[in-house]
Amino acid sequence: MDEDEKIIVTHLKNRGFTEQEIKDFLKREKESKAFRKKYREDHACCPKCGYDGHSTTLVAFVMVHGEYDKYKDRNDCVCSQCGDKHIAHDRVPLKNEENGKE
């Protein structure tokens, strides 16, 4: 367990959560982190030119645990290279230059 998890566990215990509730919370948090990491990788680059630099709005869109397939980041993005305007969900994966694969 890393330091962040220890802090979370202490906080939840202090609020009266049971061991099972804490275990369930940590499991959902682990799944959520894995999903968010993959989502960022899958939506990293401009759909027009493939560049990864961009500016974006920072509105929080709710992600429901267990319904990851329904999540769509609708923040507005502007590509720093070509100026294309799109939403974050429309961005594409970074291509690996060495092998030409995503």
Task: Say how far apart CA 41 and CA 12 lie, in whole Å.
Answer: 31
The residue range of the domain holding 80 is 3-90
Query: Using CA atoms, how far apart are residues 99 and 25, in angstroms rounded to an integer?
Result: 39
Convert the pLDDT of each residue in 27-82 to its tens digit. Answer: 999 999 999 999 999 999 999 999 999 999 999 888 888 899 999 999 999 999 99
Domain membership flag for residue 76: yes
- Separation between Cα atoms, residue 97 and residue 72, nearest integer Å: 27
Q: Residue 101 falls within a domain, yes or no? A: no
pTM of the model: 0.79
**Residue 99 domain-assigned?**
no
Is the residue at 78 inside a domain? yes
- The answer to the question of residue 98 being in a domain is no
Number of domains present in the structure of the chain? 1
